[in-house]
Chains A and B, each alone.
Chain A
Amino acid sequence: MALSRRLGRSRFTLVLLILTSLTLLTLDFRGFGPIDAARSGALSVFSPVGDAAAGLFRPVGNFWHGAFEYDDLKRQNDELQVQNDELNGRVTSGDVAKQTNQQLLALLGLPPVGDQPTTTARVVSGSIANFDDTIEIDKGESAGIKKGMPVRAGTGLVGTVVRVGGDRSVIKLITDNSFQVAFTVVGRPDRGVARGQGADRQLSGTVETTADVRPGQILVTTEVPGGLFPPDISIGTIASVSTDSGVLQKQLAIDLLADLHNLTYVSVVLWQPAA
């Protein structure tokens, strides 16, 4: 008798808590303002405390990474040396092309493109939980960062700002399952949509079946009405193209240009989507 009464009370508590969780979920999906404010508050409060804890345990972390990831780090370092040399060459030729482009636009009386103002921030934390594709940077509202601003790292799009505190911001990475970005193929009129598929995985993309797309082509953001990104931020290169007979679209696998594993500094593009 006592057992069933206790079980009944426990079930009542559980049902109450489940209903509260579902209410919170519903409010969050409907964009309830105070929830966003609470999360930004938690970011401002816990980031410094978390940083202090991280600083305290840094020697342990360094030992941990050294012990378990030494070979990977060495290989990455070698690869980065090669990439660095290659990129230095590309930067030089890119600067020349950019200068020529600006001169031609000036001659034609057209406004310059692709030169949005940015602010550079340091990545202070990676993903906190296991199913959360985010990073945290050390700049926030005080540096002019606002929710929705795109973030890039040198060569490519990294993600978008999803939460802003006083001196902190959280960036949702481009690989997150809920991430979508409209793209255009460089030198082609073809447009499509790229989607994140989870950490450490390529992006997936779709274009019309009539689009002339081939592996190796570079994809950049494109401006669409109500779009979330300014034009001409590079996203990645097409790794493979497949056609599904069931749907009237070509499926793309996209390799990212930005290396999300080695993010130290990122640039937040001070551009906000139109309201």
Chain B
Amino acid sequence: MKVALRVGFVVLTAMVLERGVASQLRIDGVAADLLLLVAISAGMVAGPDDGAVVGFVAGLALDLLVQTPLGLGALVYCVTGYLVGLAQGSVVRASRLQPVLLAAAASAFGIGLYVLASLVVGRSGLINRHLLVVIAVVAAVNALLIPLANRVMRWAFDDPSHNRAAVR
């Protein structure tokens, strides 16, 4: 219960920061995707199971904020959170750089999957040169913020010392 409340608080905070701050501080017209960062961080800290659940909630939160079809963000972010959990679990020896690289790769994957899913539900015209800029900026910002996000997520999962990656 305590974990659920803390995770809910983290998602709500990310929602407010996305709406009030990230959407204003754009780099080349691209906003940071803090809710995707939450999904990635949950996968890294808590494993694929919890990564998928938190990703789903974070994606749903994004869907409520924007005008894209409801369920699109939930679908993409839960898959991203799950896969990050699997990838983190398969790491034999983690280095300091490993979470940063994984966050960047997962962000690029998440954005790519979002665009593909958007195409499937009939939103065309998203594949253009600007998409590369979106991927680059979101990947870079999430890579930069992942150490902080992981700290917050460890607090949320009440597990500061233990990495709960389910698959080892």
Contact = CB atoms under 8 A, between A and B. Distances in A.
- Name, among B49, B118, B168, the residue most crowded by chain A CB atoms within 10 Å (CB to CB): B49
Interface stretch (B2-10, B14-22, B98-106, B152-160): B14-22
Interface in B23-61: 23-25, 27, 29-31, 33, 47-49, 52-53, 56, 59-60
A70 interface: no
Given A57-B24, A177-B123, A132 B66 contact: yes
B64 to A, nearest CB: 4
Contacts of B59: 21
B15 A46 contact: yes
Interface residues of B, number: 58
A136 to B, nearest CB: 9
Contact of B53 (A13, A50, A163): A13
A39 B78 contact: no
A162 interface: yes
Interface of A: 3, 6-7, 9-10, 13-14, 17-18, 20-25, 27-29, 35, 38-39, 42, 46-47, 49-54, 56-57, 60-61, 64, 68, 125-132, 134, 162-163, 170, 172, 176-178, 196-201
Interface in B71-126: 71-72, 74-75, 78-79, 82, 85-86, 111, 114-115, 118, 121-126
A29 B66 contact: no
A130 B125 CA distance: 13
Nearest to A62: B24
Nearest to B137: A130
Contacts of A50: 16, 19-20
Contacts of A39: 64, 70
A54 B21 contact: yes
- Name, among A46, A52, A57, A129, the residue most crowded by chain B CB atoms within 10 Å (CB to CB): A129
20 contacts: A10-B52, A10-B166, A13-B53, A14-B78, A14-B79, A21-B72, A21-B78, A24-B74, A27-B71, A29-B121, A49-B19, A51-B20, A57-B21, A64-B24, A131-B115, A134-B66, A162-B67, A178-B123, A198-B126, A199-B130
Contact of B121 (A25, A61, A64, A200): A25
